[in-house]
Chain A
Amino acid sequence: MDLKRNPLFWGIAALVIVALAAAWFLIPGLGGSRNKEDVKVADQFPNDQFPSTYKPLPSPPTLIRGATVLTGTDKEIPNADVLMRNGKIIAVGQNLKAPDGATVVDGKGKFVTPGIIDIHSHLGVYPSPSNEATQDGNEMVKPTTPEVRAENSVWPQDPGFTRALAGGVTTLEILPGSGNLIGGRSVVLKNVPSRTTQGMKFPGAPYDLKMACGENPKRVYAEKGGPMTLMGDVAGYRAAFQKAVTYRDKWRKYWNAKAEGKDADEPERDIGMETLALVLDGTIRVQMHCYRGDQMATMIDVSKEFGFHIAAFHHATEAYKVADILRENDVCAVMWADWWGFKMEGYDAVPEGIAMVDHAGACAMIHSDDPFGVQRLNQEVAKAMAAGRRMGYRISRAHAITWMTRNPAKALGILDKTGTLEAGKMADVVVWDRDPLSVYAHAEKVFIDGALLYDRDNPDLSPRSDFELGQENNGHTGGAGQ
């Protein structure tokens, strides 16, 4: 007799399923996230010891009228309006009404995009001027330093921030350098002038951990106790994460004991291990410097071994060789348009890289890693788009601009807040004097959370860092736009 045809069998089976489902939720220890073993580290340890004090600057309602709007969602809307109020985007579309008291910006002949996001910057940690006193980006005393945070090195007076603002950059991720295997936490900033780094900190943005593949760590440590090889690099990541697993489990045991009312000795806190435990948690994301495709594949395996996820490979000059692997593992690739060859691991970069990764269905984007490049990410995207078109891909400009807006927002985990022109998001908006994908384009007006913070036509809205004050040499036009 076929058991599966017996109604009684199905009745009992249904009861068992219901009972198991109930037990899953009701019996501690069985259910996934309810398992005490899996208690989230983030729920136990405070994660943000340097909380954001950023508040959007006050702004009147603003209507940009009659511009070509590239929304960051692959759409281009001709003759369209963008309405901002209370720091948010209220609406994008044609024939919007200006509310009472609104500032109206004539968008005729202009283009509007979301604010540019540079996902890889060292502004503030390697500021201008560059000298012995300002090399704050690489804690190269040992290869693994998860305990350090870029936000504790950022100099908010770096004139580079003002130049980036004039280039339409509204959000930046500031990372530690790549001298270490694990370089420390990076920080996401709104590109607003501020006395303090906390005053720039992007509210609610997740932290990231900076890691680095390849040549840099072994060049730095070859004669300082290692790693001196690529295999030494990988052993270093694995050792660090194995230590983090042990650390997390020790604390979980302690938290579980406390929850059951038992006596337990509190383990010693380790600030660096705490960061790695938060990576294992999924609370802190991983941004990894990695040029070569084969090394990306190796790092994906390391991430699977320890159960964390790599958000993006940066400087991913060979991502085009492994774009399918990146797509399948949901890892983004952060690239330059045409940087290459300054070291061996960057020798195989191609100008079509971004377009090829994008075409393969993986998540592709631009980055600067450079205080000059950050000012012209629109031009870099234009080059990448043109290279892709020349190899036969159909790439609209509306799509190309997602490489500097939506995609970096996604890789940073802030796409729900910024990165596109959609109602409800932060009003981070740039008005360009023409198609931004041109060498001749200028960001004319840059809004951050609805507040006009740079206006090319108004010297009073051109921020100038403390450092540049009184340096008569460039006292003509203000910092931004200089």
Chain B
Amino acid sequence: MRTTLFLASLCAMALSAPASAQSPAIPQPVSTAPLPSVNPPVFIRHGHIYTVGPAGTLADGDVLIQDGMIAAVGPDIAAPAGAKIIDAKGKPVTPGLMASWTQLGIMEIQLSASETNDSAPNQTLDSAAFDVADALNPSSTLIPVARIAGVTRSLTAPIDCGNVFCGTAAVIHLGDGPDLIVKRRAGVLVSLEPTGGKSQLYTRPDIWAKFRETLDDAREYWAQRAGYHRPGGARDQRSIRIDLDALGPVIRGEEPLLVHAERASTIRQVVEYAQATKLKLVILGGGEAWMVAKELVAAHVPVVIDNNINLPGSFSDLGATLKGAARLDAAGVTVVFQPQNDDPAQYARTVGQIAGNAVANGMPWSHALAAITKNPAEVWGIADHYGTLESGKDADVVIWDGDPLEVTSAPTAVFIKGAQIPLVSRQTMLRDRYKHLDKKGLPFAYR
């Protein structure tokens, strides 16, 4: 039996860090530079191509990858001279998948190895300044495990820390480092759900009051930021400067507020608030989101959901159902899938299975594939270069040995930003080491 309650207690130790006098330079949010490519063009032919874009599905099509980008997609493209040719033999070809709300790159092992776990803040008071981009580890062994299963992008975000403001998320690619960041400041995570348990810090009204006060502080701070630190400047906000700085793009509606909420009434409440204050909102969790579908559609609020969470884990998600994603989708809400909700970093590779289960419970197949490609690209603001197979986009391309949403399928080739990655992980190496237990010779450590 695993428990994450201890993480809540870590958050309970949050301390206020001293504010420094200078504001930090705010980095550019989008890194558009392609990875350096020395590879020859790659020509994938005879694929059953799900572009997830305007070109739809091509029963027998080709994809040309050049300089890290998709150069062309179509039914009848000519292979350029010198191209590496891969015959997909009619197998499915899709965009690389995206797993949203994972801790890929910031968590190696969740329990009892705390130096590997940067998934929750315990420093700043309101923790918007906690930024996953400051902890990303391109050498994480979790990354190859995810990408050999066809996952090429992640919205890496803090876990629900039990302390209202939990930190800032980033979009990463899962190709080779050192720079994994695709987009910094992809959203600030807020939890509006009480943690429950003995370590619970706040009730719902506490959470709501703290949530509003912090955002009010941020608005006040940004209204007179230049004078904030001068004598006679702005009043002393409860929140500290770096957190208020991080909330600037959020209160301006430029960066989404990622709100973990399960209960329908809480979702309704925050949707109303976001509309009144012109915040850009994304709901995470959303066990009962389908019950608020109409309001979500009207306010253009997408939902990030692990559709397999169908039990009343608490009194907050009594309405959780396997049909949740299908109902949201049918109502017109943009759905994005989170991988298996418990340890989504380790289980980023389950995101296709989550989508498949949504199909089994009523969601159209093409919508489910979009919910792990095109939809997250749009929701996280990277649709200009990722999410569909279209010329001019980054070449995140996967060739599958079967239906990409089927649990028995696996990639036979994975490209991330045009680079073909070896289908090797620490797990495949362990497998190969112990494949022949009866082989004589030196101990396993020599294999």
Contact = CB atoms under 8 A, between A and B. Distances in A.
B109 A343 contact: yes
A382 B323 CA distance: 22
B430 interface: yes
Contact of B1 (A122, A128, A132, A471): A122
Contact of A391 (B145, B309, B405, B431): B431
A163 B314 CA distance: 16
Contacts of A476: 321
A351 B113 contact: no
Nearest to A293: B434
B58 interface: no
A437 interface: yes
Interface string A447-477: 0000000000000000000011001011011
Interface in A390-405: 390-391
A372 B353 CA distance: 13
Interface stretch (B206-214, B232-240, B344-352): B344-352
A440 B359 contact: yes
Contact of A438 (B112, B198, B408, B410): B408
Contact of A369 (B1, B313, B315, B428): B1
Contacts, number: 154
B109 A163 contact: no
Given A342-B2, A440-B360, A132 B310 contact: no
Contacts of B2: 342-343
Nearest to A439: B356
Contacts of A163: 310-311
B250 interface: no
Interface string A325-367: 0000000000000111111100111111000100010000000
A379 B314 contact: no
A405 to B, nearest CB: 18
Interface in B401-447: 405-410, 427-428, 430-431, 434-435, 437-438, 444
Contacts of A379: 353, 357, 407
A436 B207 CA distance: 44
Nearest to B346: A341
A82 interface: no
Given A343-B113, A350-B427, A382-B408, A126 B311 contact: no
A343 B110 contact: yes
B312 A471 contact: yes
A371 B346 CA distance: 18
B198 to A, nearest CB: 6
B259 interface: no
Interface string B109-151: 1111100000000000000000000000000001001000000
B363 to A, nearest CB: 11
A177 interface: yes
Interface in A157-176: 159-160, 163
Given A379-B407, A440-B360, A129 B312 contact: yes
B320 interface: yes
A360 B145 CA distance: 25
B306 to A, nearest CB: 9
Contacts of B410: 386, 390
Interface stretch (A56-64, A275-283, A303-311, A316-324): A316-324
A403 to B, nearest CB: 14
Interface string A115-131: 00000001000101111
A144 to B, nearest CB: 18
Given A342-B2, A382-B407, A467 B109 contact: no
B357 A439 contact: yes
| Most chain B C-beta atoms within 10 Å of own C-beta, residue among A219, A350, A371, A438 | A350
B311 A372 contact: yes
B168 interface: no
A386 B408 contact: yes
A322 to B, nearest CB: 8
A467 B313 CA distance: 12
A215 interface: yes
Contact of A340 (B342, B346, B407): B346
A217 interface: no
A211 B166 CA distance: 37
B308 interface: yes
Interface in B285-312: 288, 291, 308-312
Nearest to B200: A132
A418 interface: no
B319 A474 contact: yes
Contacts of A482: 310, 321-322
A291 B340 CA distance: 21
Contacts of B56: none
B318 interface: yes
Given A342-B109, A474-B319, A138 B408 contact: no
B112 A343 contact: yes
Interface residues of A, number: 63
Given A339-B346, A474-B321, A349 B359 contact: no
Interface residues of B, number: 56
Contact of A376 (B113, B346, B357, B406): B357
Contacts of A349: 427
A181 to B, nearest CB: 15
A146 interface: no
Contacts of A160: 311
B427 A340 contact: yes
Contacts of B288: 473
B196 interface: yes
A138 B5 CA distance: 15
A468 B2 CA distance: 25
Nearest to A137: B1
Contacts of A137: 1
Contacts of B312: 128-129, 159, 467-468, 471, 474
Interface in B186-212: 196-198
Nearest to B356: A439
A385 interface: yes
Contacts of B251: none
A391 B410 CA distance: 12
Contacts of B71: none
Contact of A131 (B145, B196, B311, B431): B196
A85 interface: no
A338 B350 contact: yes
Contacts of A437: 407-408
| Most chain A C-beta atoms within 10 Å of own C-beta, residue among B318, B320, B323 | B318
B313 A129 contact: yes
Interface in A93-139: 122, 126, 128-132, 137-138
B431 A356 contact: yes
A266 interface: no
A177 B405 CA distance: 33
A383 interface: yes
Contacts of B409: 386
Nearest to A379: B407
Interface in A412-468: 437-442, 467-468
Q: Which 3 A-B pairs have the closest CB atoms?
A: A473-B319, A439-B356, A386-B408
13 contacts: A129-B313, A129-B315, A163-B310, A340-B145, A342-B110, A347-B109, A350-B428, A351-B427, A372-B309, A372-B342, A383-B408, A438-B406, A482-B310
Given A163-B310, A379-B357, 8 more contacts: A163-B311, A341-B343, A372-B308, A372-B310, A372-B342, A439-B357, A440-B360, A474-B320
Interface of A: 122, 126, 128-132, 137-138, 159-160, 163, 177-178, 215, 219, 320-321, 323-324, 338-344, 347-352, 356, 360, 369-372, 375-376, 379, 382-383, 385-386, 390-391, 437-442, 467-468, 471, 473-474, 476-477, 481-482
Interface of B: 1-2, 108-113, 142, 145, 196-198, 264, 288, 291, 308-315, 318-323, 342-343, 346-347, 349-350, 353, 356-357, 359-360, 405-410, 427-428, 430-431, 434-435, 437-438, 444
